[in-house]
Amino acid sequence: MLEVLKSNYAAKGIPKGALALPLTLLVVVLFIPLIMNLHESYSNLYDDGSLESTENLTCDVFSGNWVAYSGRPYYDNESCPFITYKQNCFMNGRPDRDFLKWRWKPDQCELPLFDAKKFLKLVRGKSMAFVGDSVGRNQMESLLCLLNSVARPEDITDRYTLNDDKYFKWWFYAHYNFTVVILWSPFLVKSSEKYLNDTSFSNAENLYLDEADEAWTTHIANFDYVIFSGGQWFFRPLTFYEKGRVVGCQKCHNVTTDPLNLYGYRNALRTAFRTVVNLKGFKGMVILVTHSPNHFENGAWNKGGGCNRTMPMTKEESALVKPYGLEEIYEIQVEEFRIAENEGREKGLRFGLMNITGVMIMRADGHPDKYGHNLDANVKINDCVHWCMPGPIDTWNQFLLRLITIPTF
Ligand SMILES: *[C@@H]1O[C@H](CO)[C@@H](O)[C@H](O)[C@H]1NC(C)=O
Ligand SMILES: *[C@@H]1O[C@H](CO)[C@@H](O)[C@H](O)[C@H]1NC(C)=O
Ligand SMILES: *[C@@H]1O[C@H](CO)[C@@H](O)[C@H](O)[C@H]1NC(C)=O
Ligand SMILES: *[C@@H]1O[C@H](CO)[C@@H](O)[C@H](O)[C@H]1NC(C)=O
Ligand SMILES: *[C@@H]1O[C@H](CO)[C@@H](O)[C@H](O)[C@H]1NC(C)=O
Ligand SMILES: *[C@@H]1O[C@H](CO)[C@@H](O)[C@H](O)[C@H]1NC(C)=O
Ligand SMILES: *[C@@H]1O[C@H](CO)[C@@H](O)[C@H](O)[C@H]1NC(C)=O
């Protein structure tokens, strides 16, 4: 480039020496920042080469820390059209950006950055279903944004359902013959109402713990990946049914003072796992995303609590954070997952535990807080449950890519 410029000028008869210094300076001024930027992103990410393809597949990537990261986020609200307005924190006025400057660093190895091309290559000709609640949808939308730099999907929802809304969506990447869907099933089992658009968070619900929800069971038999996530909905008043008869309830007498009865959650999850393991024709991989922590501080969710931090917590700080029911739900998840994994392995199914609970407990800074517009029927509440996009939830899909990369064991 420099040579071309030089000879062009030289051809016009300007003495060579006269331009050499200014040109050199110009080139330096123009290109150094570029080179520095590239250097910055790559040297941080690929410092010892291990963030690239030579991944250590035996490493426990879920034990680690958030470390400073100077690279850019994967996308922004202008480049990605899949950000729901409730998670579009910047559009809603979130002023701080430092919460984007962290990456997850496992203790024993590196977690590679999300590589959209690699992901799409792995899922070519395959299908993936997210089954769960709005946090599962949050992860799926993050995935769409992460893939957006390489490929855009077509919305093919109307081929499968009349419910063409955010609760049920089918996306198709034609060039890769890859289908990704979200199936709304916050309880995984049959419930009395679908409670779409439910903003009260305390409506009573009947759960049929021994009957998996047809919202997902009727669709996933041929899927290659089924990703279960959820848990938040099990905190409300619930009546449990088995074989059509009431077997228990939760918060049935006093919403404020009655304890959780996680009999319901354990059995709903067990039924979901059993159903998928025994589903005729199912040969896919079953992934469970462990419970996603919420971070209401200075008050409960409905009592003005919020989450206005701008930096991750340290491990020590986060050890003091005890979101309601988190530990209990997490423990049930791990136990039920292990049981299902043992059953499913005998049938040749693959399993993956996406253990994000401890990873995300430190990210009290990653929620929309007041920049999310969550409304109760009569109180304005802060959203300390979902995750801003872009944001730390993008890391979940780095974990997902790793899980589907690990060869069958
Ligand atoms: C992979 O990580 C484990 C620790 O999780 C370590 O013991 C092992 O040496 C690592 N292997 C390689 C090839 O780096
Ligand atoms: C993106 O966020 C900026 C604020 O950072 C806002 O001004 C803009 O309207 C948003 N755009 C979209 C498409 O959400
Ligand atoms: C696309 O993938 C599906 C499985 O998801 C497969 O049945 C079908 O044959 C594939 N089509 C092409 C054109 O490869
Ligand atoms: C949910 O709310 C949206 C927007 O407010 C509305 O268009 C839709 O019809 C509602 N769905 C149900 C099932 O009430
Ligand atoms: C639930 O318990 C709280 C605290 O003891 C009490 O103030 C409230 O009146 C009770 N609600 C009902 C419906 O009994
Ligand atoms: C965060 O919220 C708390 C409690 O409402 C408040 O005391 C504090 O000043 C807030 N911090 C910032 C940075 O807004
Ligand atoms: C999940 O990750 C945490 C650290 O974030 C770790 O302490 C825990 O043992 C992991 N659980 C499983 C089942 O691997």
383 is catalytic: yes
* pLDDT, position 375: 55
* pLDDT, position 200: 59
Instruction: Tell me what the mean pLDDT of segment 391-397 comes to.
Output: 98
326 has pLDDT over 50? yes
CB-based contact 140:149 (threshold 8 Å): no
More reliable by pLDDT, 253 or 101: 101
Name the percent of the chain lying above pLDDT 70: 82
327 has pLDDT over 90? yes
Q: Does residue 256's CB lie within 6 angstroms of at least one atom of ligand 5?
A: yes
134 is catalytic: yes
β-strands 285-289, 350-354: how paired?
parallel
Name the percent of the chain lying above pLDDT 90: 68
What is the rounded distance in angstroms from the CA atom of residue 291 to the CA atom of residue 283? 25
Q: How far is CA 255 from the centre of its chain?
A: 30
| DSSP states along 109-175 | S--PPP-HHHHHHHTTT-EEEEEESHHHHHHHHHHHHHHTTT---EE-GGGT-S--BTTEEEEEEGG
What is the tens place of the pLDDT at every residue in 116-152? Answer: 999 999 999 999 999 999 999 999 999 999 999 999 9
73 has pLDDT over 90? yes
Mean confidence (pLDDT) of the chain: 85
* pLDDT, position 199: 55
Residue with the smallest CA separation from ligand 6 atom 2 is 308
Instruction: Tell me what the mean pLDDT of segment 47-53 comes to.
Output: 43
Residue with the smallest CA separation from ligand 5 atom 4 is 257
Residue with the smallest CA separation from ligand 2 atom 13 is 78
pLDDT level of residue 354 (50, 70, 90 thresholds): very high
* pLDDT, position 112: 94
- Give the position, in ligand 4's atom list, of the atom nearest the Cα of 197: 1
33 has pLDDT over 70? no
**Which whole-number Å values give the CA distances from 207 to 59, 192, 194, 289, in the listed order?**
39, 7, 11, 21
Q: Which of 4-18, 174-188, 267-281, 333-347 has the lowest mean pLDDT?
A: 4-18
* pLDDT, position 56: 78
Q: Does residue 337's CB lie within 6 angstroms of at least one atom of ligand 7?
A: no
Instruction: Tell me what the mean pLDDT of segment 183-207 comes to.
Output: 78
388 has pLDDT over 60? yes
* pLDDT, position 204: 75
More reliable by pLDDT, 388 or 298: 388
Instruction: Tell me what the mean pLDDT of segment 90-102 comes to.
Output: 95
Residue with the smallest CA separation from ligand 6 atom 14 is 308
Q: Quote the ligand 7 centre to 102 CA distance (angstroms).
A: 20
Instruction: Tell me what the mean pLDDT of segment 300-325 comes to.
Output: 90
Tally helices (H) and strands (E) across the chain.
10, 15
Instruction: Tell me what the mean pLDDT of segment 48-72 comes to.
Output: 79
List of residues 6+ apart from 381 with CB closer than 8 A = 301, 302, 374, 375
Q: Quote the ligand 2 centre to 101 CA distance (angstroms).
A: 19
Ligand 4: which of 85, 165, 166, 203 to mutate, judged by most atoms within 8 Å of the beta carbon?
A: 165
Give me the phi and psi of 257, to 5 degrees please. Answer: -105, -20
**What's the token pair of residue 10?**
């030289």
* pLDDT, position 173: 98
Catalytically annotated residue among 115, 127, 133, 134: 134
What is the rounded distance in angstroms from the CA atom of residue 301 to the CA atom of residue 333? 24
Q: Quote the ligand 5 centre to 50 CA distance (angstroms).
A: 56
* pLDDT, position 32: 42
pLDDT level of residue 195 (50, 70, 90 thresholds): low
What is the rounded distance in angstroms from the CA atom of residue 205 to the CA atom of residue 234? 10
What is the tens place of the pLDDT at every residue in 357-382? Answer: 999 999 999 999 989 876 555 557 89
Q: Quote the ligand 6 centre to 370 CA distance (angstroms).
A: 12
State the helix-helix crossing angle for 263-277 and 326-346, rounded to 10 degrees: 20
**Which whole-number Å values give the CA distances from 61 to 68, 71, 235, 354, in the listed order?**
17, 20, 29, 10
More reliable by pLDDT, 110 or 32: 110
Q: Does residue 127's CB lie within 6 angstroms of at least one atom of ligand 3?
A: yes
* pLDDT, position 393: 98
pLDDT level of residue 230 (50, 70, 90 thresholds): confident
Query: Residue 381, CB half-sphere, CA atoms under 13 Å: how many?
Result: 22
Sheet holding 238-242, edge to edge: 189-191, 205-212, 238-242, 245-250
Residue with the smallest CA separation from ligand 2 atom 2 is 91
List of residues 6+ apart from 152 with CB closer than 8 A = 173
* pLDDT, position 3: 36
**What's the token pair of residue 111?**
């977690």
